[in-house]
Structure 1
């Protein structure tokens, strides 16, 4: 039931005439029921379970055979405890967007939770790759403050290079805006790229190149990650999507929206189409839309219409299909084509082939309960035909959750590879902070600083000063090898230089525990000139000043 100008103390009468019902209307109720009234007064959000929502106590009542029962319901509760609780590593980032404020003619914000790596406070000169996370339907930035499910799902610690994660809020009045510019939700993508990312970069030490910016999402958030990657390929280094919302409208949750006499409720034989791939819990698309109509603004399908559709004359999202018959409106569908990701790529293949190469990663299950595997198959076929390199995996099982230890490890390895290989030499974001910006040494052997110090050349015998801000190591092997050094200056590591004492025949360097002396082997002639000696000697140099 919708209402306006309801004042405290006034009675609001709900009857079968001024309210909607799913499965039954008020006039059809008979027997015993429980009731709780909920007031959604926040016109900027689609989520009810949040601070400020009003609700009544639970009421048990019975409707007589004539259906003439009057129930007195008092709204006497308000949800509390929804404040964002910051910790040392989880911070709230909230920015007022000038672009969105102009669109709504009222203050509008972009909100996110910033999850910092453990070393962030101890490495003030280090910059980190950043991962923008777009969660699935119903989750906002508040999720990371309640438990660690989201942190574990996306591998926010313990996988490869340390990273800063930015967990975004996509909630708006009509559902999830999924950071796409639209007539109904405003310039969401533009405000994200042009306003929010620079704002983040001023507040936190994140990489400022595409090779250090990554997009990750699940379900609706998976669609958002891919949409931003396709439309801003020069801004982001890679997108990884788990079970993304429809990417090709020839298979929109099982429906070909472009087909002749396309209908969202009925198949070609006149049978009701399933909303979910489940024999145990049969639920049709017609029932789903009837339920959403009763619940009001912010349902999944209205969310699609708000993003993909035009704005109607009434200022609300134009409906794609008739809510009674399910018939697709061809004129409304024409506007949707601009958001068909597969169609966008096919139309712009020549310009996108190189820019998107190896940047699209998708994992979906063949038994996805919302039929999301169908559109992924079509995209995979199109990209193969276009010779656009992508990594698209369709698992035999997994339903709507395709995240696993294997997928997390693979995702982080890909991000690390892009970051370490593409970052410019000497880039502050590529290696800054103690130990070349790498994790401090541990008890498990692993390649150190791949792509930065460990390269295709033979590097051996590494030695750091006690503060981790200067390193010496050998490149090459007898008879021609040199000792190189790098050091951190004002938060930035210098490029490799040959140590002044090295010559061309030195190796196996080792700093003393206090960092004031360095020992090494060398075949250099003792006279300082001439050919190298046949046997090597031990040498020592001492530090003078800084």
Structure 2
């Protein structure tokens, strides 16, 4: 009898967990189910996103005034429904405060704790967008998770090849197999002049860019492929196998020795596999945005291996102006000295968002956002084994964390190692920023220049009038970079 009572009680508890609930004046009948093709069990964070405009599909930036909610799920199997109610975590607007109306909605189950982002392989998503109905007395809607994000196949062809190389250094650090990935673009004469060795240009893309860009002609052109003399282009993947955002090929105390793995493992492999010149004077690097910081870090830390570096719109290279924040002197990242919210994403003279809003969205979306990527790239682990936060939910800056970032403040690095760099640099470094950079990165470039220009190093900066974060790589600049690169190639003949 005791067993029967216990079983009935368990059935009652399970049933109640799978039924609509009420609270705060509304009945909540908002649920997500698994498609019959997805048996489970699945464990992770189930996120539900909505938008007020029901006439358009989802895409682009998800603003704070668009309600979004999440719940944790464990061992979720087909046949069970997961319900959202007033207790669900809200991105910003609580479910009790959602205004009556109709909203389009989608859901994503984030199960991948090793790759960043909602679209990471293995995560589940709803292909079909549905309608959420909100009234004063009820919240109704249902979704079905029907698909799984897959690993994106690399488009191999005669001219584009993929390299996936097991890294012993990174694997030892992470205590699991870690692979370096690269997309190789081979020029036409590679196949007709089979004895020739080619100069090589390594590319570190910015946020969202991967080695797959080697197969995209428009993006290759942005980095000079097809311009001037032929070279082999190697597009790197700065965000594979990292849960905390882009590692950017920087040796990090949190992410691991990505820069060392690149220069000591991947570069020698590419030299031996693709007839790339072994002359370091013919090894060049370019980077954009987050990749720009990484390219500069590599050029300064491995100066004897890089024959020239061209960096555009780099992430902050001087931390006294970190997207408008002096991390060493300012007390709060959200509020400036005048008590106003610090803006971000400057477009046509107007900030489209704030640093406070960015942190809220990033926290809701889980690991791997922009600020966390900085904290993993530059900082240390906290007592919970996660990247220590530079500032808390109220924007208060932790001065101890700020101090721990100093080895990655490239102004400080150059000042400390100027003598060594003067002896070991074999090629120039050129850094470009736009005067209208959307993330105020030009100010960090200017601060960097003021602090290092007295050392007489072959490091040059230029702020291009009117340039933004996204249009800096103009046709004229691409041609200029290629001409400089060609001049360096000619010197080796």
Q: Shorter-chain TM-score: which interval?
A: 0.7 to 0.9
Q: Is the 8 A contact 2:282 2:489 kept in 1?
A: yes
Q: Is the 8 A contact 1:213 1:238 kept in 2?
A: yes
Q: Equivalent residue for 2:410?
A: 341
Q: Equivalent residue for 1:262?
A: 331
Alpha-carbon separation, structure 1, partners of 2:209 and 2:258 = 18
SS at match of 1:413: helix
SS at match of 1:37: strand
SS at match of 1:263: coil
Q: Is the 8 A contact 2:102 2:131 kept in 1?
A: yes
Alpha-carbon separation, structure 2, partners of 1:16 and 1:357 = 61
Q: Is the 8 A contact 1:245 1:372 kept in 2?
A: yes
The 3 A distance-change label for structure 1 pair 79 and 270 is: same
Report deviation, 1:224.
Answer: 0.6
Q: Equivalent residue for 2:358?
A: 288
Q: Equivalent residue for 2:273?
A: 203
Choose which of 61, 65, 85 in structure 1 pairs with 2:132. Answer: 61
Q: Equivalent residue for 1:360?
A: 429
Alpha-carbon separation, structure 1, partners of 2:296 and 2:86 = 44
Report deviation, 1:142.
Answer: 1.9
Alpha-carbon separation, structure 2, partners of 1:81 and 1:98 = 23
Superimposed CA distance per residue, residues 62-93 of structure 1 (whole angstroms, 9 cap, x where no aligned partner): 11113x32433221123458311111101111
Report deviation, 1:40.
Answer: 2.6
The 3 A distance-change label for structure 1 pair 305 and 58 is: same
Q: Please tell me whether residue 45 in structure 1 is matched to residue 119 in structure 2.
A: no
Q: Is the 8 A contact 2:227 2:482 kept in 1?
A: no
Q: Please tell me whether residue 397 in structure 1 is matched to residue 466 in structure 2.
A: yes
Q: Is the 8 A contact 1:50 1:82 kept in 2?
A: no
Q: Equivalent residue for 1:166?
A: 234
Report deviation, 1:382.
Answer: 2.1
| Poorly superposed stretches of 4+, deviation over 4 Å | none
Q: Is the 8 A contact 1:357 1:389 kept in 2?
A: no
Superimposed CA distance per residue, residues 7-41 of structure 1 (whole angstroms, 9 cap, x where no aligned partner): 3223333334342313x122322321111001232
Q: Is the 8 A contact 1:94 1:110 kept in 2?
A: yes
Choose which of 376, 379, 387 in structure 2 pairs with 1:317. Answer: 387
- Which structure has the larger Rg over C-alpha atoms? 1
Q: Equivalent residue for 1:87?
A: 157
SS at match of 1:282: strand
SS at match of 1:65: coil
Alpha-carbon separation, structure 1, partners of 2:122 and 2:213 = 17
Superimposed CA distance per residue, residues 397-433 of structure 1 (whole angstroms, 9 cap, x where no aligned partner): 12112112221222122222223313xxxxxxxxxxx
Report deviation, 1:117.
Answer: 0.7
Alpha-carbon separation, structure 2, partners of 1:357 and 1:194 = 18
Report deviation, 1:281.
Answer: 5.0
Alpha-carbon separation, structure 2, partners of 1:81 and 1:251 = 37
Alpha-carbon separation, structure 2, partners of 1:232 and 1:251 = 25
Q: Equivalent residue for 1:272?
A: 341
Q: Equivalent residue for 1:245?
A: 315
Alpha-carbon separation, structure 2, partners of 1:208 and 1:231 = 19
Report deviation, 1:353.
Answer: 2.5
Q: How many residues align?
A: 417
Q: Equivalent residue for 2:52?
A: none
> Any gaps of 5 or more consecutive residues in structure 1?
423-451, 453-546
Q: Is the 8 A contact 2:307 2:427 kept in 1?
A: no
Report deviation, 1:362.
Answer: 1.0
The 3 A distance-change label for structure 1 pair 5 and 103 is: farther
SS at match of 2:81: coil
Q: Equivalent residue for 2:205?
A: 135
Q: Is the 8 A contact 1:222 1:245 kept in 2?
A: yes
The alignment's TM-score, normalised by the length of structure 2, stands at: 0.81
